[in-house]
């Protein structure tokens, strides 16, 4: 219970920061102040908050859980590819979006799309798809909060209550503090969880008597050596994951964050330090997740290892429901919490628990982004701002924050899949497939609204199809062959794998991105362009960003 007290102190500090930000804005009723912190963030807050907003529960709980189940491959799959692709896209696209925002006053990506392609309702369609894809990200935060508080308090705080506490805290500081409060809280949280990884590594390593013996035992045992290699992972699938970080620049909350920088120079340190921040948080978490496979004195971890062993040896003969039940038991999302509970002194476990909560609660900027998009792209666009004024627009944004958080909480109570799977399969892949829209809008003068619509409709259909396929076709046992679903002429095109779906050996994100880009190109070539003045606004030397 003592660690939980530290976490509650941390939560109180976070609410205080949000309220303090509210006072700083003096209750401003200006949309730009509430939604973009008046485009005034400095270098340190910009770097920390932009990084922090992209690191959700996946960064600590998901990464160590995935590494516990899949081994070191986790770091190469998500972390190192993100360390290259995300800062690169921020450098190429984020800076240009910032400049366009400064020049033309954009607050959301859809506002830019509407202006760039001279479209109204197509912008609303893009908003709708972005909103639907963003909700799972918000749910992740609440699920992670429930898991963390429950584990840290030794079960004293049940999952449903933990999720509710996190939902209320996030809702409070987003409601009061808007973008300024969210950015300050994110900065505080990012500092906390960057420190977390290094301390956790030291404490758990010391508790386990060092890692050398465990690492050697893992590498030398036939039963576990695959955890320190990538032999169970196809190079095609590994390659597929380099497409996932394209999602970052298509995420509305990241693009909206790009608009908050005071000066363009603030992007410089952000892109340089971004890969190092990823290294600092992901490497220790992945390493600890792998090492947890050698832990034998924590009953809950032993139960997970046993569930995985049964799944691997008897899984093929089981009913799908039995396999799913065992898969849930073997999931490692709370493995790092269990390690801390076993090896860290109570007070330190509390502080480290607060660090985990910091990562878990990064869903704040997604909630704010959705609220911003709703009020700007729907409420203001369809006449609400003109009719009721800017103060009502900001109040509508606040009301939206409350409704959205409540809905996300209700879904989080029922969602059965692990944090990592939900994030990858729905939100990340969908947004990665929307990145061609952003690239085309900024770099291709020939792109059109119909090309954008074709890509958007494709993304919506593809995400729905993958979700439907994975819900209706049960996953095969881990370590076993994929369940081939469609193989015309003997070529395996569509298969259900233990981790998801395989399309011609790749994960679905690859065809989703490629077809989205192809549709943007082909449909744009076949349809009429925006007016010359609009194109010149974006591509002439005087107007281009």
Question: Using CB under 8 A as the criterion, which residues of the chain lie in contact with other proteins when the complex forms?
Answer: 38-40, 72-73, 75-76, 79-81, 83-84, 87-88, 91, 95-96, 99, 102-103, 211-212, 215-216, 219, 225, 228-231, 235, 238-239, 242, 262-265, 268, 271-276, 278-279, 283, 286-287, 290, 545
d(CA 328, CA 416): 8
Rounded to a whole number of angstroms, the minimum distance from the CB of residue 215 to other proteins is 5
Name which of 163 and 289 has its Cβ closer to other proteins: 289
Name which of 65 and 353 has its Cβ closer to other proteins: 65
Rounded to a whole number of angstroms, the minimum distance from the CB of residue 18 to other proteins is 21
d(CA 138, CA 490): 41
Rounded to a whole number of angstroms, the minimum distance from the CB of residue 246 to other proteins is 12
Name which of 165 and 254 has its Cβ closer to other proteins: 254
CB neighbours of residue 24 within 10 Å: 14
Checking 299-303 for CB contacts under 8 A at 24+ apart, the result is 300/334, 300/338, 301/335, 301/338, 301/339, 303/329
Q: Which residues contact 460 (CB under 8 A, 6 or more apart)?
A: 129, 132
Rounded to a whole number of angstroms, the minimum distance from the CB of residue 98 to other proteins is 9
Name which of 129 and 271 has its Cβ closer to other proteins: 271
In contact, 507 and 517? CB cutoff 8 Å: no
CA 250, distance to chain mean position in Å, is: 12
Name which of 49 and 80 has its Cβ closer to other proteins: 80
Rounded to a whole number of angstroms, the minimum distance from the CB of residue 186 to other proteins is 19
Name which of 301 and 442 has its Cβ closer to other proteins: 442
Residue bearing tokens 């976070």: 14
Name which of 4 and 545 has its Cβ closer to other proteins: 545
d(CA 301, CA 490): 42
Name which of 280 and 392 has its Cβ closer to other proteins: 280
Rounded to a whole number of angstroms, the minimum distance from the CB of residue 273 to other proteins is 7
Containing 40, the helix (H) or strand (E) segment is none
Rounded to a whole number of angstroms, the minimum distance from the CB of residue 245 to other proteins is 11
Rounded to a whole number of angstroms, the minimum distance from the CB of residue 290 to other proteins is 8
Rounded to a whole number of angstroms, the minimum distance from the CB of residue 389 to other proteins is 20
Q: Which residues contact 268 (CB under 8 A, 6 or more apart)?
A: none
SS3 content of the chain, % helix, strand, coil (to 5): 80, 5, 20
Name which of 412 and 442 has its Cβ closer to other proteins: 442
DSSP 344-372: S-HHHHHHHHHHHHHHHTTTHHHHHHHHH
Name which of 93 and 512 has its Cβ closer to other proteins: 93
Structure tokens at 483: 């369940």
d(CA 268, CA 103): 20
Name which of 13 and 272 has its Cβ closer to other proteins: 272
Angle in degrees, 0-180, between the axes of helices 63-70 and 266-291, rounded to the nearest 10: 40
Rounded to a whole number of angstroms, the minimum distance from the CB of residue 325 to other proteins is 31
Name which of 265 and 321 has its Cβ closer to other proteins: 265
Rounded to a whole number of angstroms, the minimum distance from the CB of residue 216 to other proteins is 7
User: What 3-state DSSP class applies to 468?
Assistant: helix
d(CA 287, CA 218): 12
Q: Which residues of 83-221 form beta strands (DSSP E)?
A: none
DSSP 365-418: HHHHHHHHHIIIIIIITTTHHHHH-HHHHHHHHHHHHHHHHHHHHHHHHH--S-
d(CA 143, CA 146): 5
User: What 3-state DSSP class applies to 501?
Assistant: strand
Rounded to a whole number of angstroms, the minimum distance from the CB of residue 365 to other proteins is 20
d(CA 56, CA 294): 27
Q: What is the largest CA-CA distance in the chain?
A: 71
């Amino acid at each position: 219970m003592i660690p939980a007290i530290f976490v509650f102190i941390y939560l109180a500090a976070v609410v205080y920061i949000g309220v303090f930000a509210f006072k700083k804005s003096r209750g401003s009723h200006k949309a730009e102040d509430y939604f973009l912190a008046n485009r005034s963030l400095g270098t340190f807050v910009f770097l920390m908050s932009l990084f922090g907003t992209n690191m959700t529960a996946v960064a600590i709980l998901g990464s160590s859980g995935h590494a516990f189940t899949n081994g070191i491959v986790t770091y190469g799959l998500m972390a190192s590819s993100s360390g290259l692709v995300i800062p690169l896209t921020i450098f190429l696209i984020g800076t240009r979006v910032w400049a366009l925002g400064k020049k033309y006053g954009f607050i959301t990506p859809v506002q830019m799309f509407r202006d760039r392609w001279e479209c109204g309702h197509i912008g609303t369609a893009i908003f709708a798809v972005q909103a639907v894809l963003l909700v799972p990200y918000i749910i992740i935060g609440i699920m992670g909060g429930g898991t963390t508080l429950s584990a840290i308090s030794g079960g004293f705080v049940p999952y449903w209550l933990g999720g509710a506490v996190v939902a209320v805290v996030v809702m409070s500081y987003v409601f009061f503090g808007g973008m300024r409060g969210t950015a300050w809280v994110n900065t505080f949280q990012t500092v906390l969880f960057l420190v977390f990884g290094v301390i956790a590594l030291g404490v758990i390593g010391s508790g386990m008597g060092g890692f050398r013996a465990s690492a050697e035992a893992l590498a030398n045992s036939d039963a576990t050596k695959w955890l320190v290699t990538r032999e169970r992972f196809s190079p095609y699938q590994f390659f597929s994951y380099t497409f996932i970080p394209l999602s970052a620049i298509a995420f509305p909350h990241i693009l909206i964050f790009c608009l908050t920088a005071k000066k363009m120079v603030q992007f410089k340190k952000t892109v340089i330090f971004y890969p190092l921040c990823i290294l600092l948080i992901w490497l220790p978490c992945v390493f600890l997740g792998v090492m947890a496979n050698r832990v034998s004195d924590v009953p809950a971890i032993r139960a997970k290892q046993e569930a995985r062993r049964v799944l691997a040896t008897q899984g093929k003969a089981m009913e799908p429901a039995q396999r799913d039940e065992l898969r849930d038991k073997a999931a490692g999302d709370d493995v790092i919490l269990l390690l801390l509970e076993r090896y860290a002194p109570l007070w330190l476990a509390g502080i480290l628990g607060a660090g985990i909560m910091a990562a878990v609660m990064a869903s704040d900027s997604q909630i704010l982004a959705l609220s911003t998009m709703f009020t700007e792209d729907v409420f203001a666009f369809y006449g609400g701002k003109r009719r009721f004024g800017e103060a009502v627009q900001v109040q509508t944004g606040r009301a939206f924050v409350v409704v959205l958080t409540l809905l996300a909480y209700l879904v989080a109570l029922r969602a059965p899949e692990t944090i990592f799977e939900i994030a990858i399969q729905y939100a990340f892949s969908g947004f990665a497939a929307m990145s061609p829209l952003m690239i085309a809008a900024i770099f291709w003068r020939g792109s059109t609204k119909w090309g954008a619509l074709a890509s958007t409709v494709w993304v919506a259909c593809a995400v729905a199809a993958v979700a439907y396929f994975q819900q209706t076709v049960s996953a095969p046992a881990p370590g076993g062959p994929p369940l081939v679903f469609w193989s015309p002429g003997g070529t395996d095109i569509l298969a259900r794998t233990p981790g998801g779906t395989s399309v011609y050996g790749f994960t679905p994100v690859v065809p989703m991105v490629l077809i989205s880009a192809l549709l943007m190109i082909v449909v744009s070539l076949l349809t009429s362009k925006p007016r010359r003045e609009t194109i010149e606004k974006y591509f002439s030397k005087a107007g281009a960003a």
